[in-house]
Structure 1
Amino acid sequence: MKSIKYLKLALFALVIGLSATSCMDEDWTDPTGEVAPFGNNQLQETNVVSIADLKAKYGAQLKDVVNDTVRIADGVQIKGRVTGNDISGNIYSQVMIEDATGGIIISVAQGGINGQLQLGQEILVDLGGLYYGVYRTQPQLGIPYTDFKKNQTYPSRISRAEWQTRFKILGKPDASLVVPHVFETSEISTLNDETVAQKYSGQIVTLKGVEFDTADGTVTFAPEAEGATTGHGVTRYFKGYTGQKKQIGIRTSCYAKFAAEKLPKGKLNVTGILTVYKTSATSSYGTTVQLVLRTLSDIEVLEPEKNQPAEEK
């Protein structure tokens, strides 16, 4: 009798299993994983403009403005490859994309973006109804936020739910296609020209042969105590670019995984997303050019012996 009972239970389990498999076969239409499980797979390319053209059209409406936004026309799309995300915590609530003409920062109220948008992932983005804006002259895409005390409007973060309807994954990520624009040592000073700096803002660039001004073996990237008075981020400048009208360096979040690491000494090749900031449109302090590192490996140490303790040399 027990054998018959167990046989009935086994047959029942088999029927249930077959039913579940049948449902899965009918509902799971992408067993190969070709359709992304996030984003909006229904988006189609209809009105893709280049990032350079987007900046030219909407940036012209914000000329000489430090903080403001302008609505993007319905139907406008851009397509680009991810060059920066929050993989190390240094980039927060932003994703950077780039096409053959330029780069742009998109502000998104979402953590863990790197899990969905890896470096080298190409995406299509629907911008219609969103806003092109500048924060201290740095272009960004998002939604407007108004600081009524200062009577200024800034580009702020798109909600996580809204963002999921706005982008579509195109193919598979290929980090080898993220190729920085290289500034040789003799060319870096051209970034002190605001027109040149703005041309490359939002793009991934490499500055070759630079050296941190304060690297002495003890100074770290972004100590919390120092960042507490500077918006939880610290700027470290390169030698020769610390003056009030020629500031070039890196900006590091106090929450970055490498914030407590010591600044490397000696000559370096530094790669990062180039950003441009001014305190006002007519600021006598000129333009501050800041690179934002994706990970600590964005720094190539050319003189590693300078970073070794004396007893290990």
Structure 2
Amino acid sequence: MFAALSAFCLTGCMDNNDDPDLSKFSITSQTSVGEVNTTIADIKKKYCAGRNGADFSRNASNFYTQVKDSQVIEGVIVANDISGNLYQTLMLRSFSSETDTIGDCILLSIKNTCLYPYFQLGQKVKVNLKGLYVGCYSKTPKIGQPYYTSYGNLNLGPMLLDLCKTNIELVGAPDPNARELKPWVPTDAWLRATANRTYQNSPTLATVRGYITEVQGDNVNIPAVGEVTGEKEPIYMDADSVKYKIFAPEVLHDDGYGVDRTIQLLTNTSKVTLRTSTENEIAFTRIPVTTCTFTGILTYYDGWQVQLRALDDLNILPTEQEQ
């Protein structure tokens, strides 16, 4: 009788029709953050075109302004931190028309080291910018909050994670086939044109094709020297006694804990920098000698540079496509 009574009490406390409350595990708003009333392109034009009128300006490349009113943008997540190569960084992309190919993009920086489970590729989001800061970090349009660097410089850094609950709303489920996830392929002529090196075109999701110059011919025998550490990079040898280098050895890190390699484009003499953070799966990957496609966040500072989102963004081309 006691056993039967216990079983009755236990089953009486369970309701098979109750859905688990998952809202407490979410880091984003469970209610609407407002109706979309502006675009990424308009926000960049208003806050990222130049430092004149900005709340704070350290120089022409680093400035920001706090958004005082409710301005709501919408975009699709096209880059996240799944590989560790992007740090506390997401990228949103939207299109202004059906014929648009480059799209309008902006970085969204959030203070957390594991964003990708919450912000998957293809996920549409709305962001209410009220209380957040918008401007440029190293010439790149960005949403975040001010912070002091280890050098004492005030820059536009990541927003606090708690603000996601009030300022960011997920819209629907992630769409792996979203149009926004298709990278744009700039031509060599486009990359060379000075007129294209503006805040409107940076950042963006793009693919470039070429090869890494640091492993071509005898270059594989020449170690680079870290500008911060002063140490030479390691040169490895595989089972067939072939020497090789990896993308981002720790000893080559710069002040931003990244390593730059050079992509020689096939179509002309143009070059694009491949920037890789240290201590992630891409950093320790062997650099292919052959021609590859490199897909990721394309930005412009002193030159065009691309940063891979994950190892899948590196693809070796068949020999016949190299011609």
Short-chain TM bin = 0.7 to 0.9
2:201 aligned residue:
200
Counterpart among 285, 299, 311 of residue 296 in structure 1 = 311
SS in 1 for 2:289: coil
Shift of 1:261: 1.2
Shift of 1:35: 11
Counterpart among 118, 126, 133 of residue 135 in structure 2 = 133
The answer to whether the aligner puts 1:269 opposite 2:293 as a matched pair is: yes
1:184-263 to 2 correspondences below 5 Å: 187-198=187-198, 199-207=200-208, 209-216=209-216, 218-227=244-253, 229-239=254-264, 248-263=272-287
Whole-Å separation in 2 of the counterparts to 1:235 and 1:297:
19
2:219 aligned residue:
none
What amino acid maps onto 1:275 in structure 2?
A: T
Counterpart among 64, 68, 72 of residue 69 in structure 1 = 64
CA gap of 1:304–1:118, structure 2 versus 1, over 3 A, is: farther
Whole-Å separation in 1 of the counterparts to 2:24 and 2:165:
14
What amino acid maps onto 1:259 in structure 2?
A: A
1:176 aligned residue:
177
Whole-Å separation in 1 of the counterparts to 2:7 and 2:162:
39
Asked if structure 1 preserves the Cα contact closer than 8 Å seen for 2:295 and 2:308, the reply is yes
Whole-Å separation in 2 of the counterparts to 1:203 and 1:273:
6
Per-residue CA deviations over 1:81-110 (Å, capped at 9, x if unaligned) read 111111111011111111114011011111
Asked if structure 2 preserves the Cα contact closer than 8 Å seen for 1:133 and 1:154, the reply is no
SS in 2 for 1:176: coil
Shift of 1:212: 1.3
- Comparing 66-75 with 232-241, greater Cα deviation is found at 232-241
2:113 aligned residue:
111
What amino acid maps onto 2:293 in structure 1?
A: N
Asked if structure 1 preserves the Cα contact closer than 8 Å seen for 2:122 and 2:175, the reply is yes
Whole-Å separation in 2 of the counterparts to 1:107 and 1:120:
17
2:164 aligned residue:
163
The answer to whether the aligner puts 1:39 opposite 2:54 as a matched pair is: no
Whole-Å separation in 2 of the counterparts to 1:14 and 1:250:
65
Shift of 1:294: 0.9
Aligned residues: 276
Counterpart among 58, 75, 79 of residue 74 in structure 2 = 79
Whole-Å separation in 2 of the counterparts to 1:121 and 1:271:
19
1:90 aligned residue:
85
Counterpart among 18, 21, 24 of residue 15 in structure 2 = 21
SS in 2 for 1:214: helix
2:227 aligned residue:
none
Shift of 1:164: 3.0
Whole-Å separation in 1 of the counterparts to 2:194 and 2:162:
36
CA gap of 1:12–1:240, structure 2 versus 1, over 3 A, is: closer
1:280 aligned residue:
none
For normalisation by structure 1, the TM-score amounts to: 0.79
Whole-Å separation in 2 of the counterparts to 1:127 and 1:171:
20
If you compute each CA radius of gyration, which structure gives the higher value, 1 or 2?
A: 1
Whole-Å separation in 1 of the counterparts to 2:146 and 2:26:
29
Identity of aligned residues (%): 28
Aligned structure 1 segments of 4 or more residues deviating by more than 4 angstroms: 33-36, 146-150
CA gap of 1:272–1:39, structure 2 versus 1, over 3 A, is: same
User: Structure 2, unaligned stretches of length 5 or more?
Assistant: 53-58, 97-103, 217-242
SS in 2 for 1:211: strand
SS in 1 for 2:213: coil
Whole-Å separation in 1 of the counterparts to 2:79 and 2:151:
32
Shift of 1:132: 0.8
CA gap of 1:145–1:193, structure 2 versus 1, over 3 A, is: farther
What amino acid maps onto 2:298 in structure 1?
A: L
Asked if structure 2 preserves the Cα contact closer than 8 Å seen for 1:47 and 1:75, the reply is no
User: Structure 1, unaligned stretches of length 5 or more?
Assistant: 1-6, 278-286, 306-313
For normalisation by structure 2, the TM-score amounts to: 0.77
SS in 1 for 2:207: strand
CA gap of 1:35–1:157, structure 2 versus 1, over 3 A, is: closer
RMSD over aligned Cα, in angstroms? 2.9
